Structure 1
Amino acid sequence: MRAVIVMGVSGCGKSLLAQRLAAALHASLIEADDLHSAANRRKMAAGIALTDEDRWPWLDAVGQRLGDLTRRDGVAVAACSALRQTYRDRLEQAAELPIRYIHLGGSREVIAARMVARSGHFMNPALLESQIATLEPPSGENVLACDVVDAPAQLLMAATDWLSCGRPVILRTER
């Protein structure tokens, strides 16, 4: 069984890579943003950062759904910020199984430009600084670190290769 979370700050491309990865793996897809409460969405749209107390029920719902779908289908992919280690621990506790993480990282400038260019998302671009400050980049054998400047096709190939071979692959390079 493989539970996978494509993670990173808002605007890094989590949803796009998660959609493509789920399609490539014939896996169920979870868009964690869809599981936020209406109150959380209103706060983020207003530029107010969520507190841990706001996040716990959301993380529990994401983790439970990821665990349920992984047990049912053998593989599931979620797009979820999972910014701090405590959040990733909470996701794994709720999923009741280990999770592999694909961390999409990149420069503040690149991600900010993406956030400004996109439409139809509730996340206020003003919250990027808060997300960057909150981010605790993951490490370990259950993590694939990628740079958002790489083409989506490259990221997908790296992710599928990494998931099939089970070894950590480091794509991120200093630019």
Structure 2
Amino acid sequence: MSKDLLADAYNTAWKYVELLKKINSNELIERVRSYAERFASYLERDGVLPTLMFMASKSSWKVRKELGKGLEGVSEVKLDDVRVEEYAHSILYECYVSWLVRRGLIPREDYEEDSLNAVVKLATEFDRPSVKAYVMNELSRIAIAFKHVVVGEFGGGP
């Protein structure tokens, strides 16, 4: 594994941690930390598509839309407007999917239209074993990086 690629994954994860700091909600931080640990193992146990589909189904369209525009303005989406659980799922989902876009596994135009298209796009490509293996490798990379950064910054579980 390239050190540059690993560093890039950690930098991507760090941007979302900075977003969490900006939002400054202990409840949201705890939820994201918990989900980051859980989804890293879900990817291995359940596979890519079921994990992404679950995350997407629990996320908020409003938050995904704002995250798709860039992380700078996301704190404008107030927690009062979105349940914490939906916000946390949205942040993790967007982190994972934006990584797949950066790695060239999902066309940027599909992602920009609606990030849920990412799951549909992946599902159509999954009949090719090489694509499936590459997606799994990349998702594992970002999931582990995100988990390490979040736990390192905000502490481990109970």
TM-score by length of 1: 0.29
Q: Which structure carries more helix by proportion?
A: 2
Q: Which structure carries more strand by proportion?
A: 1
Higher relative contact order (CA 8 A, sep 6+): 2
TM-score by length of 2: 0.31
